Structures are given as C-alpha cells and as structure tokens.
Chain A
Amino acid sequence: MIEGARWRKWVFFYVPMALFLLFLLFPFYWMVITSVRPDGELYRPWNSSNYNPFWTWKPTWDHVRYLFEETLFASWLWNTTFIALASTAISLVCGVFAGYALSRLNFPFAGSLGTGIFITYLVPQTLLFIPLAEIIRNYRLGDTPWSLILTYPTFLTPFCTWLMMGYFKAVPKELEECARIDGASRWQAMLYIVIPVAIPGILSAGIFAFTLSWNEFIYALVFLSSPEQKTVPVGVTSELIRGDVFYWGPLMAGALLGSIPVAIAYSFFVEHYVAGLTGSVKG
C-alpha cells in the first residue's frame, strides 16, 4: 500500500483505480443500457423527450424478447456452450497429460518437443483456417458443431500444455517420489497426488480455454453456415446486422447475455485462477 498523507493515497491509488475501472466497465455498462433502451431513443434520440445518452427513463425488455422470439439466439447459446465445453474438455485432457509428460518424464527431445508445441500456438488462426477448411470439407464436418470442437483444440491444446508444464514443474518432485515409494505406480502417483495438487493450474487452463472457445469468431464464421448451427459471436453479428442496418438493441442484448457465462466462470474460480497463473503450491 501507499504510505504517507491521505492525498497521496487518493492521487496514486484511488483515482487511477477509479479511472481504470471506468475504462474497463464502461463497455459493459453501455451494453446494458443499450439493450434496455427503447428503439425510439436508439435511432431518433433528438425526437425523444428527456433524452440522456448515459441513462434511460423508459427501460424495455423488447430487445431481449426479440432475441429469443425472433432469432435463434437460444440455440446459438446452446451451440456455443456445447462446443466450448467439449473443446475445453478435449484440450484439458491433452494438455494435462502432455504437460505432465513434458515436464516429468525424461525422454529424448522433450525440450524441443515442448518448443515445437509452443510454436504451433504462434501460428495465427487467420492463416490456419484455410488449410483447416479443406480438412473440414474432406471429412464432411462442415456446418456441424464437430467442425469447431475438433479445430479449437489446435490452439487450445498448446496453450493448456504450456500452462500445465509450468505448473507441474512447480510441484515438488519429492511428492511424487514419496508416493511411488509409498506404493503408488507412476499412474497412481499422478492421479492421486500430482493432479490434485495441480488443480489450480488445471482450473485456470480450463477457464482460459473455455473463454477462448466461447469468444472464438473466425473458425465459427468460416465453418458454420446455417443459422441454427451458429455460435453466439457469429450468430449475433451475422443475423442482427442486415446490410447496413444494425439492430443495436438485440445486438447489445445478445453480446451481454453472451458474456455473462464467462464472467460467472471467472468469478467462481478467480482465486484458483490467480493461484494457477502465479504457480503457487502451498506446502
């Protein structure tokens, strides 16, 4: 904390903190306020009485209702959840095992393999979607959730592997050695000792992977075409922007509802998440 006079605390702590919070939270506020604003205020503010750009006196649920009744938003939500959970699960399983192997088993080329995995993470998606589209077409996976469930791990697995590698390295080797002397096989030692100790790391990798796949845009845009298959980010932008007409109310309502699950996921596990990223193992 900052020591000294009260004004110092205000100048160096509270005021910057407030500005920072304002900067971060304003988009959310704008989404909320836009999604409950009546169309009259959105499109012809000069005609509406009592108009205030930062507030509304006539909140309405019309946009949310429109979202659920006139669009396929409910199925987009379901699609996104299913795809995000499935690809996160696949990536986590791969990441945990690969991370364990790369950090604990001394096999030849473990180091270069680790670097290799990291390099695949660096290949930009905007480049990768072209060959992937070919693969998706060959396996006839286009326009199904599987096209995304199987392609998201291409960038999620390297990330999970690296995060878990770092985390496993921070778990003292003696814990596992002790378990193996105690009568556990390598497999059991991993299952009963190393993985439970690494839960914070696994959680943070999981949350991160979930968020990435929840928000993913370009693969979803390319691989999915029919409206009922789309995910929230693609569905909202493709179905609620028609030509040059922006349906601002439903658009913002969709964005807001789409970001809530991620926010909930973060707030539940925030402590584990921080512990996972800073790699703390309490003895």
Chain B
Amino acid sequence: MGQVVLKGINKFFDSVHAVKDVNLQIRDKEFMVFVGPSGCGKTTTLRMIAGLEAISSGDISIDGNVVNGLAPMDRDIAMVFQNYALYPHMSVYDNMAFGLKMRKFEKPEIDKRVLEAADILGIGELLKRRPRQLSGGQRQRVALGRAIVRHPRVFLFDEPLSNLDAKLRVQMRVELKKLHLRLGTTAIYVTHDQVEAMTLGDRVVVMKDGVVQQVGEPLELYNRPANKFVAGFIGSPAMNFAAVTVTEANGSLIAENSGLRIKLPDEAAQRLRGHIGRKVMLGVRPEDLTVTGSVDLGHPCFDAVIEVVEQLGSEILLDMKVGESIMVASVEPTASVRVGDKLRVAMRPTRLHVFDAQTEAAI
C-alpha cells in the first residue's frame, strides 16, 4: 500500500508563504508528478512528505496514518536526490545496504535484496566501486537502487534526472517508467521539465507560487488546461496567446485585436456568450495552426508574416508576426516556407482555448 493524502498543507519560511493550502490525494501505485517553475513549492512539498521539512499547518497521511510528527525514518519512504547523495566513503554495495543495516535486517536478506536491486538496474558489476568511480548515469542507478532495496511504501524523487546529459536523461526516463511498472510502488516525482512530467506521470500536479494550479492526467492538462499558466507551461513549444476583445456581428462572435480578426467557431462562441465587449485571452497551440495556401472558410484564419524558420527535421517551427505579437506554428516538414513570406494561417476550431483576461482561468 502507499496512499498519500495531503490536507490543507501550508509552509511558511519566516514570512514567505512557500506552499499554500495544498490538498492532494495520491493513490496507491500511482506515479504522481509535481511540475512547475523553480520556486513554485514543489520540492518543499516533497520534502514535507519526506519529513525533512516541518509542516506549518495541515496534515499529511500515508495509508491513513497522519505522519506530521514522524521522523523521516519512520515514514517508510525512500527518496532519490538530485545530486544523488551517495555516501562517498562507502562502496556501491554498502550504499545500497545502508538503509537495511540501519533497520537491522539479517545479513542474508540484505545480500539478497541488494543483489536483486543491482540486477534490476544492471549495476551488478559495480558493487565494489566507490561512487567517485562511477559515471553520472551509474550514480543515478545506484541512488535508485538504494531506494528500491528498502521496498518502501512510497518513492520520492527530487529532480533525479536534471544532472544527467540530455541523451541519458531520455534513456533514464524510460527506465524509470519501466521500473515503476515493474515495482508498482507509489511514486512522487518532482521536476521542472514538462516533458518528464507528461511522459512519466499517471497524473500531474502543476504548481506555481506555492499554489496547485491543476491536477490531472497528462492529456487532460494538455487538452483542457485550467488556466493560462498551465496552458503555457504544458506543451512545447508553448501555447500562443493573444489578448482579444469579443464583439458580436451578424449573430456570430468575433475576436479581434490590432492585427487579428477572427470569427469564433461555434464551440468557443458558446463559452464566450457572456463576455461580449470584454477582453479575453485567446490561446492556440503551435501544432493546432496550419498554413493554408487559400482561404479556408470553415476555419478561423489570420494573416501572418514569417520571421524565423526553425527546421527540426520532423517538423518546422515558424515564428510569425501577427499584428503586434509573435506566434509560433508547428507545420509539416514538407511545407515550403521562407522568411518574409506572407501567409494565411488557420486554427483548428475545436482546439481554441480561451481564458479570462483578469483571472486567467479557462472559460
């Protein structure tokens, strides 16, 4: 079992309110990812779950027991740190065995568990080495091994991949996912990388300034972001935003600003009925923009001038000037586009996001 419940968690560092009223239910066997920009309180929340940071107010319970006052060692959790935190004076074997020795396991049992974990992670031949003799990826594995030998109820990961180079990071990400599928232990994973969050998480918690912005499955965050922050944070390249005013003409709704005038599709128009005459934020993802040669009446369109063409091989990113603002479109690699081209760009009508201009909440 490994169910973690956070109820009204707050954290103050002197006068700084670092974590604000966080309520979460992390289910057994779930891979939960906390994501957000640095300083958003995600690591502090994780450290409170670990017991390394005191809780200012609220309750954290693991499997129904409130653990607020429990020392880290009594919470039956394991944590993997960003800098691995391997004990430099111990061999890999001793690093992995340390937790079991502290918990007074029998020697044969320690041996069995360490070898088993080493086997899972493919570090069997490194057991006698010291951490300084290992590469970054190997150290990462040892840190993972040290966590899994304990068979804890919950794994906590604090940006475990950010010290690895890009290629290794992708590889370890896949291995982490596999490991989770194999062990089925609840995992809480902190990262600032939205790709890691999307690929690893069963569910993702997006945080900003100590406040949970949205909790949901990766695709839910992508398709139905709760507010402008989540919309801009999830997805790469980031969503395009345009501040527009909603007006009504001939029974249909028009969104316009200085360089943009589009007729809102029915689905979006319905949501914006109550906002006529007001400012809203229009959001559209780069992958939901298409470059059309001719006017496509079915889709809302606007004019744009290409400023930069970024060839990625699998796609082309176009930085376009639309009125005063810049928008990015991701188009087919076969599209023939050049800097300076004037284009007509179409939006997929069902993929239009609108946010309140003041509260930034999705409408």
Q: Which residues of A contact B (CB under 8 A)?
A: 172, 174-175, 177-185, 188, 192-193, 196-197, 199, 281-283
Q: CB distance B99 to A175 under 8 Å?
A: no
Asked if A174 and B87 make an inter-chain contact with CB atoms under 8 angstroms apart, the answer reads no
Selected from B84, B86, B103, B139, the residue in CB contact (under 8 A) with A183 is: B103
Q: List 8 A-B contacts (CB under 8 A).
A: A174-B82, A175-B85, A177-B79, A178-B85, A182-B98, A183-B73, A197-B88, A283-B83
Chain B residues with CB under 8 A of A192: 98
Judged by a CB distance under 8 angstroms, whether B131 is at the interface is: yes
Is B146 a contact partner of A182 (Cβ separation < 8 A)?
A: yes
| B83 pairs with A182, CB closer than 8 A | no
Cβ–Cβ contact B102 & A183, under 8 A: yes
- Cross-chain contact B72 with A177 (CB below 8 angstroms): yes
Is B81 an interface position by the 8 A CB rule? Answer: yes
CB–CB A179/B87 < 8 A:
yes
Looking at B51, B99, B103, B150, the one whose CB has the most chain A CB atoms below 10 A away is B99
A184–B51 Cα gap in the complex (Å)?
A: 13
Q: Does B78 contact A (CB under 8 A)?
A: yes
The residue in A177, A183, A199 that gathers the most chain B C-beta atoms within 10 A of its C-beta is A183
* Chain A min CB distance to B68 (Å): 16
- Contact call A182/B73, Cβ cutoff below 8 A: yes
Instruction: Provide the residues of chain B in CB contact with A199, threshold 8 Å.
Output: 89
Q: Which of B234-255 contact A (CB under 8 A)?
A: none
User: Is the CB–CB distance between B81 and A178 below 8 Å?
Assistant: yes
Say yes or no: A283 contacts B89, CB within 8 Å.
no
> What are the residues of chain B within 8 A of A175 when measuring CB–CB?
85, 87-88
B188 in the interface (beta carbon within 8 A): no
Task: Tell me the B82-136 residues at the A interface (CB within 8 Å).
Answer: 82-89, 98-99, 102-103, 131-132
Q: Tell me which residues across on chain A come within 8 A of B98, comparing CB atoms.
A: 179, 182, 184, 192
B6 in the interface (beta carbon within 8 A): no
A175 to B, closest residue via Cβ: B85
Q: Which 8 A-B pairs have the closest CB atoms?
A: A182-B99, A183-B102, A174-B85, A178-B85, A174-B81, A183-B73, A181-B72, A196-B89
Report the minimal beta-carbon distance from B156 to chain A, rounded to whole angstroms: 8
**B85 pairs with A177, CB closer than 8 A:** yes
B32 to chain A, nearest CB (A): 18
| A185: nearest chain-B partner, CB-CB | B73
Q: By the criterion CB–CB under 8 Å, are A283 and B131 in contact? A: yes
> Do the beta carbons of A197 and B89 come within 8 Å of each other?
yes
Cross-chain contact of B50 among A181, A183, A185 (Cβ < 8 A)? A181
B174 at the interface (CB under 8 A from A): no
